[in-house]
Structure 1
Amino acid sequence: MIKKLLNVPNTQAEDYDIEGIIDYIDDDFIENLKKDKFCKKPLMICSGGTSSRCAAKEHITIDFRKNYTEIDYIDFKKEVVIEPGTRMQDLGKFLKSKNRSFPTGLSGLTGFGYILTGGISPTSRKYGLAIDNILEINGIWGGGEKFNIIKPDQNSSKLEKKQWKGLCGAAPFLAIVTQVKLKTYELNSIYIWEASISSNQLAEIIEKAELWPDNASFNWIWSDYIKGLAIIEVSNKEELEYMKIIVKELPKTSDLKISKINGLSTFKGMELPISNNQVISRYYSEVLGLLSNSLKGHSYVLVQMIEEEIRNRPNKFCYIAAQQLGGSTINNAENLTSFIHRESAWKPWINGSWEPNNKRERDQAIIWMENVWEKLEPYCPGIHLAQLHNHLPWHAKEINCAFKNWLPELRQIKSTFDPKEILPPL
């Protein structure tokens, strides 16, 4: 074990005085899991380093980024096998060289956790969530037993189906995943409409976007002003013509940009819309991901609520954003994942930020996040648990909203395969 600070994109995690880093999984490590020899639990996992809980004060972090970055493409099956240190932008670039793609997210900096916690992509309406595209999982249960599980079919046992369901969406609570095999898709052109919009325009586009075909999705981010992004994948002439219709109906603002990229690997993400180019070099943040059903007939009321909360935010670096679901993300007849909110049409998320080591600002940001959640909850009853918050007061509520009726069985799986709670608690 190496004792040092963790060099990661998340500044809050980077500044923790951690117990040490494990960067190689060997037989001694597995024996320590089995014999429960880790004094400070839970263990933290770092694959991309974008989450605030890839490290914690006086805890050990398993850092996969140095020794577990292998990507192996199986050409005749059009499948890819990746290790947990693989960032999504690296996966995208690798697949692009094979003329293939995978539904990666709005940020290419995210790691393996993006996939294991659900994985909502601008192309998920067409291809499903990242977890819907997992074919095989290898790893070590929190109790120290190794496993290799293939996506269940009609011949699989009840236990295999429960294990798979737990790992696809709740893996961070159950196991240390060391490898996954994924489906890939043909690489296609992606058109991006990007513009600053008013609150009324936002509400109008939300209503319209719910009628778009599955190859199109709408995303927005609201700080000092609102920036909207329509992301449309085009694979044939019919989709090209429909893309033109969508873009024609969207607002034509002074800063409108329409661009074309070859796959998501070169997508630069959504920039925080702040006036006067104000920036700070370092800040801490937490992110709370909500889930809502269709907003048809409710978008104007919801946008008015958000506008009021934006006015009340404690600083310019707190914001609210959203990405669109629906289409293929609804199709989960097999009930094989822990992402149970399949009826969801939108994922709004709340970002609270503060200056490092400023407790007053931190308290204000956390309270603001809780207030926003309370206001939006009637329209956003679900939670997408893309980040772990067992260090925050809302952890229990968040877990219940994320897994609902599945939670008792999920806890049973944890008690069986991570009985000493080596990994984060449920």
Structure 2
Amino acid sequence: MIPPQVPFQIHNAQAQDANITGFFEKVDTNLIKLIQEDQLHPKPLMLCSGGTSSRCSANGHWTLDLRRNYKTINFNALEKDVVIQAGVNMNELLSHLVKENRIFPVGLSGITGIGYILTGGISPLSRKYGLAIDQILEIEGVWGNGNKFRKFKPGLLTLEQDINEWRGLCGAAPFLGIITKLRLKTNLLKPLYLWESSLSPVQLSKTIQIAESWPDYASLHWIWGDYIKAFAIVEIDSLGKMKDVEGILNQLPKTIDSKLFRISSLNKLKEMKVPVIENKESNKRYSEVLGLLGSPLLSRSYEFVKSIEEIMNLRPNKQCYLAAQQLGGNTMRASEGSTSFVHRDAMWKPWITGSWDPKSNDEKDKSLTWMVEAWSKIEPYCPGVHLAQLHDHLPWHTKEVNAAFKEWLPGLQQLKSTCDPKGILPPL
């Protein structure tokens, strides 16, 4: 264990500033003994694989930081799969795979760790290849009770207990165990077209309707701050499909700042920043993010966008914003009971970001209140929750856990009672 006097550097400002008790950097016999003897207090133990979440650390808690000692990446050229340890972030994974002419469906941020994969993993390529959890072939780690495990993707002869444990780990692993290694399926690298444009609310609602009928190799995402910035990503399967690609791109609105790029892979995507006209906010900001899930909007896209416009008119500062990613295609084709991501009917993941100056409790209260109000506005269209971030420190934790796991929650809680009976990891 390492005392808090040693620097603990992470991306998330809120977690960075936490007054932690100390941190561990290895899942060794010492840590496992502390877990088994229930010596880690207060609970839960915080986990850090990428350092982007506000719950990488917390005041008075211990953190397990996997980033330095779990960095191995091994690509199997014969099987075309890759084994990564828990400290590998998505930029590192993709950079390694591109050298092998392969890809993995990473998200919009490359600095996220394996938490991105284990909580679902929604990518601009998910419509084509499925969620990140759908690519997992093998999982190694330690349960919250201290017992080591190695699990394989279920087959026809897999026992029911192993099937349930696999389901729990794929989408709810942070509640059950400490993951140290993953074996993942990869796919052939193909070039991409990226379209970006500023849109009006009316143009956004029309673009949403258009995107819902796109083939699986195209997806839409957008971000709304002072104005709306939208992006379409289209994978190019072959030169013969270029006419299809051109047909998709020609459907999109023509605006003054519309741009079209050809990029080699997702690691060439530019960072999706909040569109602001003039930013007078402090550079250092705390934030929380709440991800929702909903089915195709169809003819309701206009009223959905209108609701968001009302929300955005009430945001407390310029760094509070809404964004969304498109699902569908292969994310809908996996069985609802195969993973803990039960919202297989989802077409959209909007997420709400509340932000505040660390020195202002008033601004914090206003931002968190705005997030709850935004949630209530969007909930009729997107009743599900994607638990890519944990909020066991906030009053809405119980509601979002119920919305995330629905009818599977009792089974998940039963699994936790066996795998993490002492509550070493975050509560369900």
Query: Do both share a fold (TM > 0.5)?
Result: yes
User: Mapping of 1:92-131 within 5 angstroms?
Assistant: 92-131=94-133
**Alpha carbon RMSD of aligned pairs, Å?**
1.0
User: Mapping of 1:255-274 within 5 angstroms?
Assistant: 255-274=257-276
1:3 counterpart residue number? 3
- 1:191 alignment partner, SS class: strand
Structure 2 letter corresponding to 1:171: A
CA-to-aligned-CA distance 1:373-409 (integer Å, 9 cap, x gap):
0111111110000000000010000000000100001
2:415 counterpart residue number? 413
2:19 counterpart residue number? 17
Q: Which runs of 5+ in 2 are unaligned?
A: none
Residues 1:188 and 2:190 are matched in the alignment: yes
Residues 1:65 and 2:85 are matched in the alignment: no
CA-to-aligned-CA distance 1:36-93 (integer Å, 9 cap, x gap):
1112110000001000001100101100111111101111000000011111011010
CA-to-aligned-CA distance 1:201-249 (integer Å, 9 cap, x gap):
0000000000000000000000000000001111213432211111112
Q: Is the 8 Å Cα contact of residues 354 and 365 (structure 1) preserved in structure 2?
A: yes
Q: Is the 8 Å Cα contact of residues 118 and 171 (structure 2) preserved in structure 1?
A: yes
Structure 1 letter corresponding to 2:264: N
Q: Shift in Å at residue 357 of structure 1?
A: 2.8
Aligned-partner Cα distance in 2 for 1:299–1:71? 42
Q: Is the 8 Å Cα contact of residues 6 and 13 (structure 1) preserved in structure 2?
A: no
Aligned-partner Cα distance in 1 for 2:374–2:243? 39
Structure 1 letter corresponding to 2:221: N
Q: Is the 8 Å Cα contact of residues 107 and 268 (structure 1) preserved in structure 2?
A: no
Aligned-partner Cα distance in 1 for 2:279–2:36? 52
1:356 counterpart residue number? 358
User: Mapping of 1:266-345 within 5 angstroms?
Assistant: 266-276=268-278, 278=280, 280-333=282-335, 335-345=337-347
Structure 2 letter corresponding to 1:73: F
TM-score (norm: length of structure 1): 0.99
Percent identity, aligned pairs only, is: 53
Q: Is the 8 Å Cα contact of residues 141 and 177 (structure 2) preserved in structure 1?
A: yes
TM-score (norm: length of structure 2): 0.98
Structure 1 letter corresponding to 2:123: S
Structure 2 letter corresponding to 1:210: E
Aligned-partner Cα distance in 1 for 2:30–2:50? 25
Aligned residues: 426
Aligned-partner Cα distance in 2 for 1:36–1:268? 44
| Distance change (3 Å), C-alpha of 1:317 and 1:334 | closer
1:147 counterpart residue number? 149
2:40 counterpart residue number? 38
CA-to-aligned-CA distance 1:80-135 (integer Å, 9 cap, x gap):
00011111011010000110000000010111100000000000000000000000
- 1:298 alignment partner, SS class: helix
Q: 1:175 aligns with which of 157, 174, 177?
A: 177
- 1:419 alignment partner, SS class: coil
CA-to-aligned-CA distance 1:145-168 (integer Å, 9 cap, x gap):
000000001100000000000000
* Structure 1 residue ranges, 4+ long, deviating more than 3 angstroms after superposition: 277-280
Q: Which runs of 5+ in 1 are unaligned?
A: none
User: Mapping of 1:362-401 within 5 angstroms?
Assistant: 362-401=364-403
1:250 counterpart residue number? 252
Q: Is the 8 Å Cα contact of residues 207 and 299 (structure 1) preserved in structure 2?
A: yes
Aligned-partner Cα distance in 1 for 2:185–2:279? 40
Structure 1 letter corresponding to 2:38: D
Q: Shift in Å at residue 270 of structure 1?
A: 1.2
Aligned-partner Cα distance in 1 for 2:242–2:284? 41
Q: Shift in Å at residue 278 of structure 1?
A: 4.7
CA-to-aligned-CA distance 1:292-318 (integer Å, 9 cap, x gap):
101001000010010010000000000
